[in-house]
Amino acid sequence: MNMPLKTELTDQTAASLALHRQEVILPTPAELKQEMPASDFVIRQVSEQRQAIRRILQGSDDRTLIVMGPCSIHDEVAALEYGRKLKALADAVSDRFLIVMRAYLEKPRTTVGWKGLLYDPERTGAGDLNGGLRRSRRLLLNLAAMGLPLATEALSPFAMDYLGDLVSWTAIGARTTESQVHRELVSGLPMPTGFKNGTDGGIAVATNAMKSASHPHHHLGVSATGVPAMITTRGNPDTHLVLRGGRGITNYDADSIDRAVSALAEAGLSTAVMVDCSHDNARKQAERQLDIAREVMAQRRAGNSHIRGLMLESFLEPGRQDDGGDLRYGCSITDPCLGWVQTEALIRSL
């Protein structure tokens, strides 16, 4: 196992650079995967789950894809308890829904804040990617062992190299959909990926992202063995739009969805749409997700076959809490979530 190692920078330029940044050596993706391998069974399961998601997005399976779970994971014990409950629910409704668990390990921040288990698992502010990578991979392995398909937000362009083999669906968030680096990343990802609309509610950034990510790219990266590499990607044919509202405006109503579908069709892109019932659509009030999910499913039942998925933020306990002191078990420390009781009742009622 690689021990953390602070590099000594020797020449003068490097010394001045060292004032601005420090380096802690991490395991390479290949080393971490060797230390914590995914079994052949899990690899096959992930591949089948990705295929099942693709079938829904392409319309050959008319179930609804639901990506749901905590806004962020800060406590692995609570995440595993949530995963067990979710798996039982997912099995019970599998004739109507394909449920994928949000196992979000990286959080994009509007300015600053805790960036997720991957970066700072003890939430001390000091950062610990060595610990975060291992704890993140262990958690995904344990959740995958339950048979759950897993979703993450792909934020760091490098994190997927460590964890992507366990992920069945991923999102590019509202704050990064416009980023060329993220579009290049998605172009090389092996799983279906949703691009969120921008934080201002505009969908053009997402349709541009889908076009860009469907093409091959060459970009600067790091190989599985940790050396600089030119990465050549194939283009990802399995991207779709996620409507999450923006700047006080919601976009889950029938007119907004129609406008989005027309824009996608005009651009020659997949018209499969997922509605994120949380974020700006819920105006950060978790309980609004209940009505939004019902309203969107009603549109679907009324014949809007472009609606293929929902996203929900849900955890064991409702609401959110500020981090620090005695934390309420199973309650979000980032955005507010539905509690489990509300979540289960909602899914069964849909």
Nearest approach in angstroms of CB 107 to ligand E4P is: 4
- Sign of the dihedral defined by the CA atoms of residues 295, 299, 301, 304, in that order: negative
CA triplet 207, 288, 263: central angle to 5 degrees?
A: 15
Query: Could you identify the residue written with the tokens 């920078």?
Result: 9
What DSSP line would sit under 205-253, residue for residue? HHHHHHHHHHS-EEEEEE-TTSSEEEEEE---S-EEEEE--BTTB---S
Position with the least CB separation from ligand PEP: 173
Find, among 38, 36, 46, 24, the residue nearest to 134 by Cα. Answer: 36
* By CB under 6 A, residue 337 contacts ligand E4P: no
The tokens describing 332, both together, are 């979000």
Position with the least CB separation from ligand E4P: 110
* By CB under 6 A, residue 187 contacts ligand E4P: no
- Of 113 and 216, which has the nearer Cβ to ligand PEP? 113
* By CB under 6 A, residue 13 contacts ligand E4P: no
- Of 60 and 110, which has the nearer Cβ to ligand E4P? 110
Residue 259 interacts with which of ligand PEP, ligand E4P, none, CB < 5 to 8 Å by class: none
- Of 107 and 134, which has the nearer Cβ to ligand PEP? 107
Phi, psi of 319 (to 5 degrees): 85, -155
Find, among 149, 204, 150, the residue nearest to 174 by Cα. Answer: 204
Residue 317 interacts with which of ligand PEP, ligand E4P, none, CB < 5 to 8 Å by class: none
Number of residues in contact with ligand E4P under rule CB under 6 A: 9
- Of 276 and 344, which has the nearer Cβ to ligand E4P? 276
Binding positions for ligand E4P, 79-138, rule CB under 6 A: 107-110, 113
Residue 109 interacts with which of ligand PEP, ligand E4P, none, CB < 5 to 8 Å by class: ligand E4P
Q: What phi-psi label fits residue 152: left (phi over 0), alpha (psi between -120 and 50 degrees) or beta?
A: beta
Q: Is 304 helix (H, G, I), strand (E, B) or coil?
A: coil
* By CB under 6 A, residue 71 contacts ligand E4P: yes
Nearest approach in angstroms of CB 251 to ligand PEP is: 12
Binding positions for ligand E4P, 280-319, rule CB under 6 A: none
Q: How far apart are CA 277 and CA 167, in angstroms?
A: 22
Phi, psi of 324 (to 5 degrees): 115, 150
Which residues sit opposite 228 in a β-bridge? 222
- Of 71 and 307, which has the nearer Cβ to ligand PEP? 71
- Of 149 and 245, which has the nearer Cβ to ligand E4P? 245
Binding site residues, ligand PEP, CB under 6 A: 71, 104, 108, 153, 173-175, 196, 244, 276, 279
Nearest approach in angstroms of CB 193 to ligand PEP is: 13
How many CB atoms are located within 10 Å of the residue 203 CB? 24
* By CB under 6 A, residue 334 contacts ligand E4P: yes
Decide if 270 contacts 239 (C-beta within 8 A).
yes
Side-chain half-sphere CA neighbours of 237 within 13 A: 4
**Chain contacts with ligand E4P (rule: CB under 6 A):** 71, 107-110, 113, 279, 334-335
